[in-house]
């Protein structure tokens, strides 16, 4: 098995820069149909011959269908490899992959097209590699709406019977410099407040108006007062967007406030919503939780699997945590053996200068291969 890990890691690394260049060369912001289809066309070229391709409805209406690639074997266990193809960088800011020393730089490199390349390489290694662990089924699922999804994740029931899920968001290091994976994430929420006031001329009759902007400012303060990162829920409540007013000389009658919420449990979000008043100085406020992603904590369930993966790797693997949201959190409630953070290491996520570290590719490929082997019972 260690020979298989070493050989397949080298094969993944040898192909990764060119594959990542082609995948990053496609601008695929969430919701862009042409970009999603172009990215999927690249992914098709990365798959092992004979992989069964299926397109399934995306969680978010109006998006391109999500992509499934399946290989079947003669073993007993079923493994899901999870990733996403959408990015947050708009077409105007997109640029092709470039090399800057140890860095492969470009939009979506680390979040998460670099992880997609390793996932596709792992699928090939399991399907074709000499000495690969036996499996009944391995499925690669790539979705097209992870970055901006505001609706429930559509694929939980489809994969609820699988034995393990490996997600390829960016990798990281442990406290002592060892390779790490992610087994704990906070819940994530997006809170929207809409304000309804009354227009009036801001110069001749300002007191006849009811300001939606001032009401939203009060709501922002109420949300911020719930912020308690050191508390029992590790709750962060951060107003992030405020829109109100259409003219410089009119009391604004309408507006919208967005806040980002994170906590150990999504139950804490209800406390933030309850803190928003229904009315401020005559302006009516409506609070709605647009996005509610569950937290993830698979530390206990995956500990034996990670211990076995470390044995196969010949090096420790740290079970780490991360604050950002991931689709792994949705699957963790249905698949006990869920591990995230199996992609390459890098930085600058969600920015044009986003990058993957080339020095991390082989180490991260080895971690992914060892994790898959352990999940399949090797």
Q: Kindly state whether residues 274 and 370 are assigned to the same domain.
A: no
Domain ends where: 242, 271, 293?
293
Q: Kindly state whether residues 241 and 261 are assigned to the same domain.
A: yes
From residue 125, give the alpha-carbon distance in Å to each of 116, 337, 363, 370.
14, 21, 16, 12
Helices (H), the chain: 2-24, 33-44, 114-128, 212-225, 268-275, 299-313, 328-332, 361-375
Give 271's contacts (C-beta < 8 A, 6+ positions apart): 226, 235
Q: Kindly state whether residues 360 and 267 are assigned to the same domain.
A: no
Q: What is the pLDDT of residue 351?
A: 87
Please give the average per-residue pLDDT across 142-163, as a whole number: 96
Q: Kindly state whether residues 301 and 289 are assigned to the same domain.
A: no
Q: Kindly state whether residues 110 and 155 are assigned to the same domain.
A: yes
Q: What is the CATH number of the domain that holds 272?
A: 3.30.70.360
pLDDT at residue 1 above 80?
Answer: no
pLDDT digits (tens, 9 = 90+) for 296-312: 999 999 999 999 999 99
CB count within 10 Å of CB 315 equals 14
The tally of CA atoms less than 13 A away on the side-chain side of residue 100 is 11
Which contacts of 14-22 are long-range, i.e. CB under 8 A and separated by 24 or more positions? 15/117, 15/121, 16/114, 16/117, 16/118, 16/121, 16/361, 16/365, 17/104, 17/358, 19/46, 19/117, 19/120, 20/97, 20/104, 20/109, 20/113, 20/114, 20/117, 20/356, 21/96, 21/97, 21/104
Q: What is the pLDDT of residue 325?
A: 87
From residue 88, give the alpha-carbon distance in Å to each of 46, 112, 156.
23, 11, 24
pLDDT digits (tens, 9 = 90+) for 109-132: 999 999 999 999 999 999 998 899
> Hunting for tokens 């962060």 — which residue is that?
236
The residue range of the domain holding 256 is 187-293
E strands, 147-186, are 164-167, 172-173, 179-185
Please give the average per-residue pLDDT across 148-162, as a whole number: 95
Q: Kindly state whether residues 191 and 288 are assigned to the same domain.
A: yes
In this prediction, what percent of the chain has a pLDDT beyond 70?
100
Domain ends where: 258, 293, 328?
293
Q: What is the pLDDT of residue 323?
A: 83
Q: Kindly state whether residues 283 and 171 are assigned to the same domain.
A: no
Q: Kindly state whether residues 71 and 204 are assigned to the same domain.
A: no
The model's confidence at residue 352, banded by pLDDT at 50, 70 and 90, is confident
pLDDT at residue 183 above 90?
Answer: yes
For residues 145 and 377, the answer to whether their CB atoms sit within 8 Å is: no
Number of domains in the chain: 2
Q: What is the pLDDT of residue 286?
A: 98
For the chain, how many residues are written?
378
pTM confidence score: 0.93
**What is the C-alpha to C-alpha distance for residues 124 and 246, in angstroms, rounded to an integer?**
54
Q: Kindly state whether residues 222 and 251 are assigned to the same domain.
A: yes
Domain ends where: 264, 293, 322?
293
Q: What is the CATH number of the domain that holds 172?
A: 3.40.630.10
Q: Kindly state whether residues 266 and 158 are assigned to the same domain.
A: no
The tally of CA atoms less than 13 A away on the side-chain side of residue 88 is 14
Q: Kindly state whether residues 118 and 253 are assigned to the same domain.
A: no
pLDDT digits (tens, 9 = 90+) for 317-326: 999 999 888 9
Which run of H or E residues covers position 286?
A: strand 283-293
Q: Kindly state whether residues 177 and 325 are assigned to the same domain.
A: yes
Query: Pick from 117, 168, 165: which is nearest to 139 by CA?
Result: 165
Please give the average per-residue pLDDT across 72-86, as a whole number: 97
Q: What tokens appear for 155 in the block?
A: 């694929």
Please give the average per-residue pLDDT across 243-268, as a whole number: 96
Q: For residue 227, which phi and psi values (nearest 5 degrees)?
A: -60, 120
């Amino acid at each position: 098995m260690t020979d298989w890990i070493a050989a397949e890691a080298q094969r993944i690394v040898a192909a990764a820069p060119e594959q990542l260049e082609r995948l990053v060369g496609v601008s695929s912001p969430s919701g862009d149909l042409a970009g999603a289809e172009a990215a999927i066309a690249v992914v098709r070229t990365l798959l092992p011959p004979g992989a069964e391709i299926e397109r399934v409805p995306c969680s978010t209406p109006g998006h391109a269908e999500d992509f499934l690639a399946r290989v079947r074997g003669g073993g007993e266990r079923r493994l899901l490899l999870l990733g996403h193809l959408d990015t947050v960088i708009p077409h105007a800011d997109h640029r092709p992959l470039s090399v800057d020393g140890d860095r492969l730089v470009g939009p979506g490199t680390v979040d998460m097209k670099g992880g997609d390349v390793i996932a596709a390489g792992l699928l090939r290694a399991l399907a074709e590699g000499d000495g690969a662990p036996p499996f009944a089924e391995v499925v690669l699922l790539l979705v097209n709406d992870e970055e901006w999804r505001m609706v429930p994740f559509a694929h939980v029931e489809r994969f609820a019977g699988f034995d393990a899920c490996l997600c390829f968001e960016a990798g990281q290091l442990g406290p002592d410099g060892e390779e790490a994976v992610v087994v704990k994430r906070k819940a994530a929420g997006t809170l929207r407040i809409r304000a309804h006031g009354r227009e009036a001329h801001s110069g001749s009759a300002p007191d006849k108006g009811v300001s939606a902007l001032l009401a939203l400012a009060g709501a922002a303060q109420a949300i911020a007062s719930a912020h308690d990162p050191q508390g029992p829920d590790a709750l962060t409540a951060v107003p992030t967007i405020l829109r109100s007013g259409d003219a410089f000389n009119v009391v604004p009658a309408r507006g919208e406030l967005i806040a980002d919420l994170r906590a150990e449990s999504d139950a804490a979000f209800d406390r933030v919503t309850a803190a928003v008043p229904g009315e401020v100085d005559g302006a009516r406020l409506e609070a709605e939780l647009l996005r509610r992603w569950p937290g993830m904590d698979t530390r206990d369930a995956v500990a034996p699997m990670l211990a076995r993966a470390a044995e196969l790797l010949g090096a420790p693997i740290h079970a780490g945590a991360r604050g950002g949201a991931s689709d792994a959190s949705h699957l963790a409630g249905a698949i006990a053996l869920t591990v995230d953070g199996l992609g390459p290491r890098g930085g600058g996520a969600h920015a044009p200068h986003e990058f993957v570290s080339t020095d991390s590719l082989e180490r991260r490929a080895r971690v992914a291969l060892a994790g898959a082997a352990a999940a399949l019972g090797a």
